[in-house]
Amino acid sequence: MSKLFKTILFGGLILALTLGLLYLFHEPILVQTAEFLTVNNPPEQADIIYVLSGGLNNRPFYAARLYQQGLAPRIVISVEEESPPIKMGLLPTTTEVTLAILDELDIPQADIITLDTLGGVTSTFDEAVLLREYIVQHQHQPKRVIIVTTAFHTRRAQWIFNRQLADLPVEISMAAAPHETFDETNWWRNENGLITYLNEYIKFAFYLYNY
């Protein structure tokens, strides 16, 4: 038996063993892969609850629950960039829908703060910049902020906000709103979940590289 053949055979056995182990333990590996992206800090009293744009099926509802539990006296949202159909008046803005949800959940309008910027926010980075501006300009600067976003988005959001607010005397607490159709234990069995988690890793890598 030649040395080359032995090398190929040994490599094939290692590959087969690796694939076999991945098959046997793929579920725990996939769960841990998703769990890495989730940051859910223990609930603590805060000055404001900041709801990130998007996730209309879970984020406003989760923020309202935290507010009703008495964890913060104010809910803060940002105005999102308007798409062409919205500018044509064919669709409501994300901000309008969020406000409507909070109203239906009996959140007093006086306890909701809307942050606006020219053109609206287009990314989590924009939302972090907007929050920084609010904290700096606010007479009574918030000392603790609860960031509400969907579970898969919490790791990247935490990284972005910590970098933007690093020089300010404010503490960030992440609140992971559960997605309505998938979570860390079954995301690979759901088409939307599979796309979402893979896309989130790509976005996180993009932020790590560019920011």
Q: Looking at the 3D structure of the chain, how many domains does it have?
A: 1
| Domain membership flag for residue 27 | no
CB 51 within 8 A of CB 98: yes
Domain encompassing residue 97? 40-181
CB 95 within 8 A of CB 77: yes
**Class of residue 160 by CB neighbours under 10 A (exposed 0-12, middle 13-18, buried 19+):** buried
Closest by CA position to 173, among listed 46, 34, 37, 38: 46
| Domain membership flag for residue 169 | yes
pLDDT exceeds cutoff 80 at 11? no
| Domain membership flag for residue 2 | no
pLDDT higher at 116 or 158: 158
Dihedrals φ, ψ of 82, to 5°? -90, 130
Reported as a pLDDT band with limits 50, 70 and 90, residue 2 is low
Closest by CA position to 157, among listed 113, 203, 112: 203
**146-198 pLDDT, tens digit each:** 999 999 999 999 999 999 999 999 999 999 999 999 999 999 889 999 899 98
pLDDT exceeds cutoff 60 at 144? yes
Reported as a pLDDT band with limits 50, 70 and 90, residue 21 is very low
- What per-residue confidence (pLDDT) applies to 29? 83
| Domain membership flag for residue 151 | yes
**56-91 pLDDT, tens digit each:** 999 999 999 999 999 999 999 999 888 888 888 888
Under DSSP, the state recorded for 121 is B
**Mean predicted lDDT score pLDDT of the chain:** 88
User: Could you give the CA distance from residue 153 to residue 177 in angstroms, rounded to a whole number?
Assistant: 9
Q: Report the CATH number that the domain containing residue 73 is assigned in CATH.
A: 3.40.50.620
Lowest mean pLDDT, pick from 29-38, 68-77, 98-107: 29-38
| Domain membership flag for residue 100 | yes
pLDDT exceeds cutoff 50 at 199? yes
| Domain membership flag for residue 17 | no
| Domain membership flag for residue 115 | yes
| Domain membership flag for residue 195 | no
